[in-house]
Structures are given as C-alpha cells and as structure tokens.
C-alpha cells in the first residue's frame, strides 16, 4: 500500500524549472493546463508582456462551500503575498515574481499544496470547534467530488470527530473489490483511528438525510489524532482517502488481469506439450509397412509398392 502525494507534481516541477537561475537568464513563457484529483483544474501561465511573472490559477468546484469554513483565512495565511485578481473561470489565482524568489524552490512546493490546503478548511473548522468545547450535532457535508456525487460529512460526538465518506463506483466489479478492500479497514490497529464500513444504508449518524451511495466509510478521530503535532498529517491523509481507495482498486484489477494472462499462457504451453505426433507410416496385420501418398485416390499395395490392388485371380478363358 502506498499513500498518494498531496502536492501536484506537474505544477511543482513546472514552477521549480521557472524559478531556477538558468531560466531567469533567459526566461521563457509557459501556458499549462493540468488536472488534479477530485475534478480540480490548474492553469499555469506567463503574465502578458512579462515572462518573469508566473500566474497559477486553480478551479475547485466546491470552493464556495469551503469558504464557509475558513478557506479565505487559509489563503491569507499561506498565500497572502501571492494573491492577485482571480482569472475568469477559476476560483483562486496566485502571482509569483520569479526574480523575487530566485532559487527558492520551496516556493514551488508551497504553491503545489494549494488544493490540499483549501480542502483542509472543513477539517480544521471542526477540529477547532471541538477543541474550544463546541460541538456539531447535525452532520454537514462538503461536495468534494461533484462529478460522482461523493461527499464528505463531518460531525462531533462527545470528545471525538466523525468523518464520513460516501463512496460510489462506476464499475460493478469495483463494488466487489472495494468491499473486500474496505473490510480490511475494520481491523483494529494500535494508535490508528477506528474505521467502519457499511453498504447501501447510511450509518445512523446520517439518519434523516436523503443520501444514496454504494458505501459509507466512517473514521472516528480522537483528540490525539487532531492535536497540533498530528493535525497536518491527519488532514492530509484523510482528504486523499477516496483517491487512495480507487487507486488501489485499479492496481488490484491490473494485478488480477496479469495473473490471469500468465495462467492462460501456462495452460497453453501444457496443451502444446500434450500434442501427439501421428505416425506417417501404417502397418498391415502381417507387420508390413506402407506409406500413403498424399492425393492418391487408390489404395496402396501391401509392402509399400504403389499401383492398384488386384482382387481375385487372373481371368481364365477357354482354350
């Protein structure tokens, strides 16, 4: 099992290349559009008339929902120095002056984490609420992935936080593999959050809400999971859970297909070895052999000599 990276690797490598001293000697323009998980789109492009300024725009479909839970405060905290007028059709746009950040490659890594930090807003909101003694009795949901209708719900229960993922599958085979995969999460591991998985029917924490999904995964987080020293790791790991799940389902299917192809190849080899070579020579009852000539309409004579076989004795006439 592997954990997916939180930063967008394409954006990070592009910005590192532009921030290098070699590029600043002779700056080049760039216009790059790339996709990210959860239907997010990035746009990295050079400012008009100035190749030493790079703009980075991001489109997050659920950005209005994230703003309700502190997304704007996160932007001001981490990216206040880069904020600029938002590009048309995008949620946020950042501007980087390459000369001001020459050879500061960590800036590229910070910008590449923009999506991760925006998606952390509802997590931090509910963690702060419970640390201040508050509670959230009614679960609220964020439409993290509008394409498939999958949501993430948040709710407090006493001194713990419940994070509930709705899971949908396009392929019926994925439902079977996903059920086996998610059942493993129920196993108790020391120090890890407890996990529960149910199919079809939503858990009782979401009772009263009209929600339809193929499955529901509930993470129960205790204080040790969202205290200051562990919060960032917890948030970054949880928000990639849906992509982590689907990634490993595809890996499992690929592995099964490879095993099946190898098995078929081995069976074909066994069948080929089992083929018998038919003898080209035939024997008579007396043990003599004769060869049948291909295409010959007549039966070969015993003893291997060709020609028609004469039946009966010679014709006898009267003298």
**Residue ranges with strand state E in the chain:** 31-35, 41-47, 50-59, 92-97, 140-145, 150-157, 160-167, 194-199, 215-221, 281-283, 289-291
Q: What is the pLDDT of residue 219?
A: 92
Q: Which two tokens stand for residue 286?
A: 């007396």
CB atoms within 10 A of CB 40: 22
Name the burial class of residue 84, with classes exposed (0-12), middle (13-18) and buried (19+) by CB atoms within 10 angstroms of its CB: middle
Phi, psi of 171 (to 5 degrees): -95, 130
Rounded CA-CA distance 151/24 in Å is: 43
Rounded CA-CA distance 281/301 in Å is: 13
- Is 142 in contact with 152 (CB distance < 8 Å)? yes
Q: What is the pLDDT of residue 280?
A: 65
Instruction: Encode pLDDT of 81-100 as tens digits.
Output: 899 999 999 999 999 988 88
Longest dimension (CA), the chain: 138
Q: What is the pLDDT of residue 295?
A: 57
Q: Which residues of the chain fall short of a pLDDT of 70?
A: 1, 103, 278-281, 290-319
Global pTM reads 0.77
What lies within 8 Å, CB to CB, of 282 at 6+ separation is 289, 290, 291, 292
Q: What is the pLDDT of residue 300?
A: 47
Q: What is the pLDDT of residue 146?
A: 74
- Measured N-to-C along each axis, helices 121-131 and 228-238 cross at an angle, to the nearest 10 degrees, of 140
- Is 288 in contact with 300 (CB distance < 8 Å)? no
Closest of 192, 213, 216, 215 to residue 205, by C-alpha = 216
CA distances (Å), 220 to each of 104, 147, 165, 184, in order? 39, 26, 12, 16
Q: What is the pLDDT of residue 314?
A: 52
- Is 100 in contact with 108 (CB distance < 8 Å)? no
Rounded CA-CA distance 243/148 in Å is: 12
Instruction: Encode pLDDT of 10-61 as tens digits.
Output: 999 999 888 887 777 788 889 999 999 888 999 999 988 788 899 999 999 9
3-state secondary structure of 97: strand
3-state secondary structure of 17: helix
Q: Which two tokens stand for residue 183?
A: 């059942």
Q: What is the pLDDT of residue 38?
A: 86
Rounded CA-CA distance 221/193 in Å is: 5
């Amino acid at each position: 099992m592997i954990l997916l990276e939180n930063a967008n690797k394409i954006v990070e490598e592009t910005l590192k290349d532009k921030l290098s001293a070699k590029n600043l000697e002779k700056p080049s323009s760039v216009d790059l559009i790339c996709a990210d998980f959860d239907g997010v789109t990035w746009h990295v492009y050079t400012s008009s008339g100035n190749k030493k300024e790079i703009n980075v725009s991001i489109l997050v479909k659920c950005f209005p929902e994230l703003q309700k839970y502190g997304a704007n405060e996160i932007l001001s905290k981490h990216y206040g120095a880069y904020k600029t007028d938002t590009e048309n059709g995008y949620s946020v746009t950042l501007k980087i002056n390459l000369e001001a950040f020459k050879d500061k490659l960590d800036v590229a890594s910070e910008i590449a984490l923009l999506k991760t930090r925006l998606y952390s807003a509802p997590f931090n909101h509910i963690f702060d609420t419970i640390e201040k003694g508050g509670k959230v009795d009614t679960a609220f949901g964020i439409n993290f992935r509008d394409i498939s209708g999958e949501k993430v719900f948040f709710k407090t229960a006493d001194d713990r936080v419940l994070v509930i993922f709705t899971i949908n599958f396009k392929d019926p085979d994925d439902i079977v593999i996903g059920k086996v995969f998610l059942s493993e999460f129920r196993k108790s591991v020391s120090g890890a959050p407890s996990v529960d998985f149910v199919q079809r029917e939503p858990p009782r924490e979401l009772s009263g809400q009209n929600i339809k999904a193929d499955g529901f995964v509930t993470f129960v987080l205790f204080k040790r999971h969202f205290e200051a020293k562990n919060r960032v790791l917890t948030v970054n790991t949880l928000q990639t859970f849906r992509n982590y799940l689907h990634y490993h389902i595809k890996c499992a299917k690929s592995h099964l297909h490879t095993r099946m192809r190898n098995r078929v190849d081995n069976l074909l080899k066994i069948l080929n070895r089992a083929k018998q070579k038919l003898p080209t020579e035939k024997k008579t009852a007396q043990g003599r052999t004769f060869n049948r000539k291909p295409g010959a309409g007549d039966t070969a004579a015993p003893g291997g000599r060709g020609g028609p076989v004469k039946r009966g004795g010679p014709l006898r006439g009267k003298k």
